[in-house]
């Protein structure tokens, strides 16, 4: 005959084993997407944060904005000041580490400022998008608008690069990096959000640009699939 104390011991032991098994099951059934999403932001000085304090650059401000949205994301700053589309393409392979889940491409401004061929910029950006596509990465392409300095034909050819490639490669498109500033009703207020060089936004300008960029990044994150380690 079993004593009551023996039954209690067996019941307690069985319950402990069951609890351990449940805990182990929860650990191994946890979805892989519980890990932070890693987004590589490939770009030039606008991405690198030229002329700004480290915490005021585009990537840190975007990171903070995404955190405020409750998103568990790590944005990797792969911006290099002065980089052209050719420069971005040359460092694509080592920028896209195995941890990369999504790619932001912000390049072309320096090609435009130097009057380089729009066809050359298009070819380089296409090669970058092909590289991201080959890795199965959802992508966000940040567009640029050329001024009229090089003529209407140059502007038309350059401006068409971004919507064309975004459609071709299924990338999320932000039509114009500077739209949040250029579309302000008060030109003086927009000018006050630029650094002295008239090319790079200051900290307040970046904040306004991030407010326009952020929703597009959320759309990008929505395309990131869960993955197995």
Which pair of tokens denotes residue 84?
A: 């052209």
Of these residues, 44, 45, 95, 101, which one is catalytic? 45
Of these residues, 153, 186, 197, 228, which one is catalytic? 197
Neighbours of 198 (CB within 10 A): 7
> Which residue has 């300008």 as its token pair?
205
Neighbours of 83 (CB within 10 A): 24
Predicted local distance difference test score (pLDDT) of residue 156 = 97
Cα dihedral across residues 211, 217, 222, 226: positive or negative: negative
Q: Is 93 exposed, middle or buried (0-12, 13-18, 19+ CB in 10 A)?
A: exposed
191 noted as active-site residue: no
pLDDT band for position 35 (cuts 50, 70, 90): confident
29 noted as active-site residue: no
200 noted as active-site residue: yes
Of these residues, 44, 95, 159, 200, which one is catalytic? 200
Please, what is the average pLDDT of the chain?
88
Predicted local distance difference test score (pLDDT) of residue 12 = 47
Whether 8 has a pLDDT exceeding 60, the answer reads no
Average pLDDT over residues 150-157: 96
Is the pTM for the entire model greater than 0.95? Answer: no
Which pair of tokens denotes residue 126?
A: 């296409």
């Amino acid at each position: 005959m079993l004593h009551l104390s023996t039954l209690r011991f067996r019941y307690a032991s069985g319950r402990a084993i069951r609890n351990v098994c449940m805990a182990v099951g929860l650990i191994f059934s946890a979805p892989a997407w519980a890990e932070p999403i890693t987004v590589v932001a490939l770009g030039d000085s606008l991405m690198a944060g030229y002329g700004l304090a480290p915490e005021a650059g585009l990537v840190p401000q975007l990171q903070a904005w995404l955190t405020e949205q409750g998103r568990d994301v790590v944005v990797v700053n792969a911006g290099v000041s002065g980089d052209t589309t050719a420069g971005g393409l040359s460092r694509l392979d080592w920028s896209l580490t195995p941890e990369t889940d999504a790619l932001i491409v912000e390049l072309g401004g320096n090609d435009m400022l130097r009057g380089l061929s729009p066809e050359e910029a298009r070819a380089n950006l296409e090669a970058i998008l092909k590289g991201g596509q080959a890795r199965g990465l959802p992508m966000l392409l940040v567009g640029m608008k050329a001024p009229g300095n090089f003529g209407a034909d140059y502007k038309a050819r350059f401006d068409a690069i971004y919507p064309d490639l975004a459609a071709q490669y299924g990338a999320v498109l932000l039509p114009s990096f500077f739209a949040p500033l250029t579309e302000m009703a008060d030109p003086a207020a927009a000018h006050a959000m630029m650094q002295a060089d008239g090319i790079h936004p200051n900290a307040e300008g970046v904040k306004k640009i991030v407010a326009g960029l952020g929703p597009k990044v959320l759309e990008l994150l929505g395309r990131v699939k869960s993955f197995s380690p």
